[in-house]
């Protein structure tokens, strides 16, 4: 069933129930369903019918969701990108030419109801994934892989039609886009400020019962949780103590591990560690003699691949298993999955392999460290040395950082070089943009201060 059909059904059952709240106001389910019907008729008039690709770049999150649902209802494949991209940029990142570019809110066209008979393998969704590596790739997935994971997530997180779900980030991010569409499919109210809400966060939280977000935003939410009951957290590992802090604030945390290409892989709904998301099989495949192995998943939620057959980290074997190169400790069914990060981010230093996330996890415990990125810097004899870039308003003394490293890290893992920045650049999902940090460091960015 198209997500738009869910919205239309909710409109028939609870027409006056708030569907979505954005910067410009609120739309009920009846209003949103009517908007989607009118916009779908417009798209069909432009030739954007079943199988067509519709590129959507809109700043207003409600207009964006309306366009996404309209494309969905018309049987087309919505592809959400940055509203600031011009056609040249779209052409560089989209190997398949879209039938329609939506760069302004879709007009309403009157007419009979639009109906589309969907198939499970229809291309129902496409979004960009760059992770922390920079170059966007359009990931495309089938209708079944997109919508049939809604119920398992709703059950794990306890999200129902009476919830108010805050989505405090750009819908260009697949994490936030999924959260908003999931809320609408559930019949809940989606609150979509469309950007990092900043000073508006307290007001947004006052009436919200659920929030979807990335880990580094969780402390902001927990300062004044308001009516918040549940935080669904993805995109990176939780910081030490985050779950305990949430419990003290009366907020339940449901954290998960996945990737844009894999969707959900594992979930921790109770603090007991990551275990397979419903319907997912997991294998960790180490090379002989290696301490870590690649995470492979097999599930109904996997993406079809990259639009236009573009190259990317997604790899498949002949038995339906897929990986994007993330690495984890050895794993057996029934155990907790311990993900250690993306394999291609590993640092080779003096014959040792260092996983940046292992170092970051330790150093985030230093008071005053808001976040951290660990990268490899070139070294004439060691190949690379471990380098830490601290995000802090006032960075802790280097001696304090080194003391923590000596007490909790092996010699090869300890940073040899230390830097500080007021704010780390981030990907659309909120993760520190590791490759961009490394590039700025290599380029001698004066905003990155070396710690004496």
Q: Strands 164-166 and 189-191: what pairing?
A: parallel
Where is 34: in which H helix or E strand?
helix 29-45
What pLDDT was estimated at residue 443?
87
Q: State the alpha helices, DSSP H only, in 274-369.
A: 356-363
How confident is the model over 402-422, as pLDDT tens digits? Answer: 999 998 887 889 999 999 999
d(CA 298, CA 262): 9
* 227/251 Cα distance (integer angstroms): 9
Give exposure, 259-287, as e/b (b: 16+ Cβ within 10 Å): bbbbbbbbbbbeeeebbbbeebebbbbee
Structure-token pair, residue 403: 């003391």
**pLDDT score, position 173:** 86
pLDDT tens digits for range 182-220: 999 999 999 999 877 766 888 999 999 999 998 888 999
Task: State the average pLDDT for the chain.
Answer: 90
Q: How far apart are CA 137 and CA 311, in angstroms?
A: 8
258-288 residue pLDDT tens: 988 999 999 999 999 999 999 999 999 987 7
Work out the pLDDT band at 22, boundaries 50, 70, 90: very high
Given this model, what pLDDT does residue 433 score?
Answer: 83
Alpha helices in 150-308 (DSSP H): 150-157, 174-186, 201-206, 218-223, 242-248
Helix (H) or strand (E) holding 229: none
Where does the pLDDT of residue 428 fall: very low under 50, low under 70, confident under 90, or very high at 90 and above? Answer: low
Closest CA to 294 of 234, 348, 358, 346: 346
Q: How confident is the model at residue 132 (pLDDT cuts 50, 70, 90)?
A: very low
Domains of the chain (ranges, CATH numbers)? 3-254 (3.40.50.12780), 346-450 (3.30.300.30)
Quick: pLDDT tens for 41-54: 999 999 999 989 99
pLDDT, tens digit (0-9, with 9 covering 90-100), for 348-366: 787 677 888 889 989 999 9
3-state helix, strand, coil in the chain (%, to 5): 30, 25, 40
Map tokens 């830097």 to a residue. Answer: 419
Angle at the Cα of 282 from the Cα atoms of 278 and 284, rounded to 5 degrees = 160
Q: What per-residue confidence (pLDDT) applies to 130?
A: 53
Return the higher-pLDDT residue of 295 and 357.
Answer: 295
pLDDT digits (tens, 9 = 90+) for 159-179: 999 999 999 998 988 899 999
Count CB-CB contacts under 10 A for residue 199. 6
For residue 68, the model assigns a pLDDT of 97
Kindly report, residue by residue over 62-108, the tens digit of the pLDDT: 999 999 999 999 999 999 998 988 888 888 788 888 999 999 999 99
The structure tokens listed for 225 are: 């949780």
């Amino acid at each position: 069933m198209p997500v738009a059909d869910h919205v239309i059904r909710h409109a028939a059952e609870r027409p006056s129930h708030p569907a979505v709240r954005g910067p410009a106001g609120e739309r009920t389910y009846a209003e949103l369903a009517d908007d989607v019907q009118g916009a779908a008729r417009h798209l069909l008039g432009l030739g954007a019918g079943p199988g067509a690709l519709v590129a959507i770049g809109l700043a207003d999150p409600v207009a964006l969701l309306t366009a996404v649902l309209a494309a969905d209802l018309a049987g087309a494949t919505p592809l959400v990108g940055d509203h600031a991209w011009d056609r040249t940029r779209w052409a560089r990142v989209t190997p398949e030419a879209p039938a329609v570019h939506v760069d302004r809110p879709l007009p309403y066209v009157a007419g009979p109801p639009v109906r589309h008979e969907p198939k499970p393998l229809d291309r129902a969704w496409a979004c960009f994934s760059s992770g922390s590596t920079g170059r966007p790739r359009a990931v495309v997935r089938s209708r079944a892989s997109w919508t049939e994971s809604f119920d398992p997530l709703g059950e794990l997180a306890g999200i129902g039609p009476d919830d108010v779900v805050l989505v405090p980030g750009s819908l260009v991010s697949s994490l936030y886009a999924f959260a908003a569409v999931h809320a609408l499919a559930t019949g809940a109210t989606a609150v979509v400020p469309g950007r990092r809400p900043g000073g508006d966060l307290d007001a947004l939280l006052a009436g919200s019962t659920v929030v979807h977000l990335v880990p580094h935003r969780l402390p902001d939410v927990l300062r004044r949780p308001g009516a918040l009951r549940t935080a669904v957290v993805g995109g990176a590992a939780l910081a030490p103590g985050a779950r305990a802090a949430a419990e003290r604030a009366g907020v339940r945390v449901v954290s998960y591990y996945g990737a844009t290409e894999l969707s959900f892989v594992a979930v921790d709904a109770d603090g007991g560690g990551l275990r397979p998301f419903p319907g997912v099989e997991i294998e960790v495949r180490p090379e002989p003699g290696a301490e870590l192995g690649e995470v492979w998943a097999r599930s109904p939620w996997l993406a079809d691949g990259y639009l236009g057959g573009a190259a990317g980290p997604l790899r498949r074997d002949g038995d339906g298993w897929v990986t994007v190169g993330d690495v984890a400790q050895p794993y057996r069914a029934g155990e907790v999955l311990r993900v250690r990060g993306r394999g291609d981010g590993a640092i080779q230093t003096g014959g040792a392999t260092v996983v940046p996330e292992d170092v970051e996890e330790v150093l985030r415990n230093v008071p005053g460290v808001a976040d951290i990125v660990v990268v490899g810097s070139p070294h004439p004899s060691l190949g690379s040395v471990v380098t830490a870039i601290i995000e802090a308003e006032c960075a802790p003394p280097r001696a304090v950082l080194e003391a923590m490293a000596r007490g909790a890290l092996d010699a090869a893992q300890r940073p040899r070089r230390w830097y500080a920045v007021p704010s780390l650049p981030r990907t659309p999902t909120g993760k520190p943009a590791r490759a961009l940090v490394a590039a700025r460091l290599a380029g001698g960015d004066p905003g990155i201060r070396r710690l004496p």
